[in-house]
Copies of this chain bind each other. A is one copy, B any other.
Amino acid sequence: MSALTTDLYQLTMAQGYWQHGRHLDRASFYMSMRRTPFGGGFAIAAGLEQIVSFLDGLRFEPEDIDYLRSLSGGDGGPLFAPEFLDALPALDLSVSLAAVPEGTAVFAREPLLRVEAPLLVGQLIETPILNIINFQTLVATKAARLCHIAAPGQPVLEFGLRRAQGFDGALSACRAAYVGGCTATSNVQAGQRFGIPVRGTHAHSWVQAFDSEPEAFGAFAETMPNNCVLLVDTYDVDRGIENAIAVGRELERRGQRLLGIRLDSGDLLQQSRGARRRLNEAGLEDVAIVVSDNLDEKRIMELRRAGAAIDIWGVGTSLVTAAGGGALGGVYKLSAIRRAGEERWRPVFKLGAGVGKASLPGRLQVRRYRSAGGALERDVIYTRDAAAAPGAEPGTEGGRDLLAPVLDHGRLLSPLPTLEACREVAGREVTALPVGLLDLDCHEPAPVKVAPGLLELCDELAAEHQVLAAGRS
């Protein structure tokens, strides 16, 4: 964690704001996503805890300033003004933050997080905030999709450390996958750090290291009698299953138990059905069948529909790299500004030339409406800065605001929920979604409306845009 974990342009703009006496203007930024990932109808918000932790540790160290001092511009002269770099470490970097609680189901376009801070600071933290929320939300969403497709009671395990983007990418992927519903991880460090349950038994190399598969299986059962899941496809799956059954019977004779067998290649449908039948014939009905091998939510759905006899799903690459989603594409936009010494907030927005590239103006909030039974009905994005009086904007009666205050000028307002609590929220949220939004490829519109007052404000500002581009003077 470093104050330099940001894009250079945040710092060049920071100097500009400072030199023009604008750095203490109060600014409201919000983060939202342009579309829900993986072609699905929802996302699960995650990453708030890391953001709070990052903001808490945010400061410029002397070596950071030294580095910035060493940078030069196009003419070889210093990029940053010395007086700006001298002032930077003394600036108050605390922010006020409101956010959707982790685990909440969210939709495209609506704010997931709102920052109110001095203009310079709100700008500086854009990049780390996007980095954290984009990836956490993406993986939590992927996990929620996987866990929804696996039947209730069929754990999805996260096995992706070897394919993740760096050690830290792997760690944060584990955390997000757990929030989204995964039961455990193979990543021991994630277990140590976050208290996530860890799982794992042996690899092909264990079998190769012994003179034969029966010898290898026997040796493993001896060393891990209470954690014995045997990988049966090193040489020949049918033989592997027989060899595992022999070990399972031997463990039973000793009053112990074979927990499962694992299939990692080939036709998982036929293999799992054959294995189940033979395990049952051998009286090993409670031995679980675990599969891995490039699984994702679509393959899990196909296997389940075709009647595969699979109890536990190990998912690696597609989960930690968010296959099919790539990146959340979250954006962070300035939406209102209040000049130092002024009382009025000025709503701002950008139009942009591409679809979905326009932003919303004002200090934004989302109101969520639920049925009496708790089912999610609709969200309304609104702003206190529209013409209608605060709190009285049409369409926002009843319901409950989604963005809850988290930090007030850097002070944490109440302890953040535990990882377990966030995971429970996510589980409830998925259950409360309209069923059409749960389709893996969702064609239903998001249940999100923009309040009338906010729409009017957009129209007003759009009309002003030509003027802004041309200059008012």
Instruction: Give the nearest-CB partner of A257 in chain B.
Output: B74
Report the bound CA distance from A20 to B211 in whole Å: 13
List residues 183-208 of chain A with CB under 8 A from any CB of chain B. Answer: 186-189, 191-192, 198-208
Task: Kindly provide the distance from the CB of A285 to the nearest chain B CB, expressed in whole angstroms.
Answer: 16
A119 within 8 A of partner (CB): yes
Task: Kindly provide the distance from the CB of A262 to the nearest chain B CB, expressed in whole angstroms.
Answer: 10
Residue of A131, A171, A207 with most partner-chain B CB within 10 A: A131
* Contact sample, A vs B, 23 pairs, CB 8 Å cutoff: A5-B170, A6-B188, A7-B159, A8-B198, A8-B200, A9-B201, A11-B200, A19-B223, A67-B188, A75-B226, A134-B163, A164-B169, A165-B165, A165-B321, A166-B168, A166-B172, A166-B173, A204-B352, A233-B352, A236-B351, A265-B357, A271-B353, A323-B326
A103 within 8 A of partner (CB): no
List residues 125-163 of chain A with CB under 8 A from any CB of chain B. Answer: 126-128, 130-132, 134-135, 159, 161-163
Report the bound CA distance from A212 to B472 in whole Å: 6
User: Is A353 touching B199 in the complex (CB atoms < 8 A)?
Assistant: no
Which of A237-245, A305-313, A396-404, A416-424 contacts the other chain? A237-245
A334 within 8 A of partner (CB): yes
User: Is B224 touching A12 in the complex (CB atoms < 8 A)?
Assistant: yes
A96 within 8 A of partner (CB): no
User: Is A265 touching B166 in the complex (CB atoms < 8 A)?
Assistant: no
A106 within 8 A of partner (CB): no
Q: 1/0 per residue A199-235: CB within 8 Å of B?
A: 1111111111101111100011011111100000111
User: Is A226 touching B77 in the complex (CB atoms < 8 A)?
Assistant: yes
Task: Kindly provide the distance from the CB of A299 to the nearest chain B CB, expressed in whole angstroms.
Answer: 13
Task: Kindly provide the distance from the CB of A319 to the nearest chain B CB, expressed in whole angstroms.
Answer: 11
Known A71-B198, A169-B169, A235-B351: A79·B16 in contact at CB below 8 Å: no
Report the bound CA distance from A256 to B74 in whole Å: 10
Report the bound CA distance from A22 to B264 in whole Å: 25
Task: Kindly provide the distance from the CB of A246 to the nearest chain B CB, expressed in whole angstroms.
Answer: 10
Chain B residues with CB under 8 A of A469: 212-213, 234-236, 239-240, 243
Chain B residues with CB under 8 A of A471: 212-215, 243
> Interface size (A, Cβ < 8 Å)?
137
User: Is A233 touching B353 in the complex (CB atoms < 8 A)?
Assistant: yes
Interface residues of A (CB under 8 A from B): 1-2, 4-13, 15-17, 19-20, 22, 25, 27, 29, 63-64, 67-68, 71-77, 79, 81, 119, 123, 126-128, 130-132, 134-135, 159, 161-173, 186-189, 191-192, 198-209, 211-215, 219-220, 222-227, 233-237, 239-240, 243, 256-257, 259, 264-267, 271, 293, 317-318, 320-323, 326-330, 333-334, 337, 348-354, 357, 465-473
Instruction: Give the nearest-CB partner of A11 in chain B.
Output: B188
Instruction: Give this chain's copy count.
Output: 2
User: Is A226 touching B79 in the complex (CB atoms < 8 A)?
Assistant: yes
Report the bound CA distance from A209 to B8 in whole Å: 18
Chain B residues with CB under 8 A of A67: 188, 191-192
User: Is A74 touching B186 in the complex (CB atoms < 8 A)?
Assistant: no
Chain B residues with CB under 8 A of A73: 224-227
Task: Kindly provide the distance from the CB of A138 to the nearest chain B CB, expressed in whole angstroms.
Answer: 9
User: Is B220 touching A16 in the complex (CB atoms < 8 A)?
Assistant: yes
Residue of A67, A164, A169, A226 with most partner-chain B CB within 10 A: A169
Chain B residues with CB under 8 A of A161: 5-7, 127, 131
Report the bound CA distance from A101 to B187 in whole Å: 29
User: Is A321 touching B317 in the complex (CB atoms < 8 A)?
Assistant: no
Chain B residues with CB under 8 A of A259: 74
Known A212-B468, A337-B209, A468-B235: A186·B7 in contact at CB below 8 Å: yes
